[in-house]
Copies of this chain bind each other. A is one copy, B any other.
Amino acid sequence: MHRHIVNRPEQAAEEALEGLALTHPHLLAYDRAVGIVTRAQPARDKVGLVSGGGSGHEPLHAGFVGVGMLDVAVPGALFASPTALQVHTGTVAADSGRGVVQIVKNYTGDVLNFQIAGELAEDDAVKTEVVLVDDDLATDAEDDGPGRRGTAAVLAVEKICGAAAEAGTDLVEVAALGRRVARSARTLSLALTAGTHPGADGPAFVLPDGEVELGVGIHGERGTGRIPFADADTLIAQLVDPVVAALGLRRGSAVIAIVNGLGGTSPLDVSVAARTVHHHLGALGVTIERSLAGSYVTSLDMHGISVTLLPADADLLPLWDAPVRTPALTW
């Protein structure tokens, strides 16, 4: 059984947020009663950024609250959308007079609750724009379904919109930039072990030793199929190649890469995966202009890796490089 270091499972998400805020009191504050995380020193006279969604993906989103990224995070319970009222409160809290960009991962509950919250905020004379993040290549489909899921590309959207907002860019432009990043980023994930919900008896699904789940979602959603367990180079190539194809990358392309551990992945494994991503893209003639490797958008204690790529357009790099000071990302 995969056990967790938690108290009552239904309080785990809130207690983790409390722990984060106690560890970083100079960066953020958690209002447990209202259910939002805000900067310790609210920003003034800039476009506000709010994001949120279910918990269980720590450090997302609260770990990205701070100068250069989010103003407010609105966390739901584990794998459950925050309420529309909670998002409304968070959206209003993110406003310093120049409107608020809501960064929303594409899940039905999140989309609905952010939409209602946005309408409520407009009633309060807070202008809002929505950036929908739907980067998960495993859920690409031609039909009229819910569309692709939102996963680790949300981190790139938050970083780049955050830098633009900090630089004084206006609401419409920050949102347009975010939509451009979301549109141009794709992610693919694999899992060796599914995560276990605190309080549950076992993981979301069980894999035989010889198999790996390809295209897994960050809520333990099953993937597109199973592939044989293999060495890192073989496994990670099966994440990189479809993303390269989807983005139409070719020799001479330049990208930003995010190599992401899914929660139970050791730093050793994440670094080995990062090496493969660098070498494999290098062999394809694709230049990695910037990259991250760490556990940023997790799925409880899932042991797995996701790879996110987005084209490193020249105007994005200064925004990527701009200072950021949050619990989970600082430079």
**Which A residues fall within an 8 A CB radius of B?**
1-8, 12-13, 15-20, 22-23, 55-56, 58-59, 63, 192-193, 195, 198, 209, 229, 231-233, 235-236, 259, 263-276, 278, 288, 291-293, 295, 298, 300-301, 303, 305, 325, 330-331
Contacts and interface: CB of A to CB of B under 8 A. Distances in A.
Contacts of A63: 267
A58 B271 CA distance: 9
B267 A6 contact: no
17 contacts: A1-B209, A2-B193, A4-B269, A5-B272, A6-B272, A12-B268, A16-B267, A17-B271, A19-B271, A22-B275, A22-B288, A23-B271, A23-B278, A56-B268, A58-B267, A58-B271, A195-B266
B23 A192 contact: no
Given A7-B232, A58-B268, A268-B301, 6 more contacts: A3-B229, A3-B303, A13-B268, A23-B291, A55-B268, A195-B266
Given A1-B209, A3-B192, A303-B264, A19 B231 contact: no
B275 A231 contact: no
Contact of A298 (B2, B18, B267): B267
Contact of A267 (B229, B275, B295): B295
A301 B59 contact: no
A contacts with B: majority SS: mixed
A308 to B, nearest CB: 14
B8 A272 contact: no
A274 B232 CA distance: 32
A325 B330 CA distance: 9
Copy number in the complex reads 2
Contacts of A269: 4-6, 301
Given A15-B275, A264-B301, A7 B233 contact: yes
B19 A273 contact: yes
Contacts of A288: 22
A292 B23 contact: yes
Contacts of A293: 19-20, 23
Contacts of A7: 231-233, 272
A276 B5 CA distance: 10
A83 B185 CA distance: 44
A16 to B, nearest CB: 4
Contacts of A233: 7
B272 A15 contact: yes
A301 B266 contact: yes
Point out which of A23, A291, A295, A298 has the most chain B C-beta atoms below 10 A from its C-beta: A23
A2 B56 CA distance: 22
A5 B58 contact: no
A46 to B, nearest CB: 22
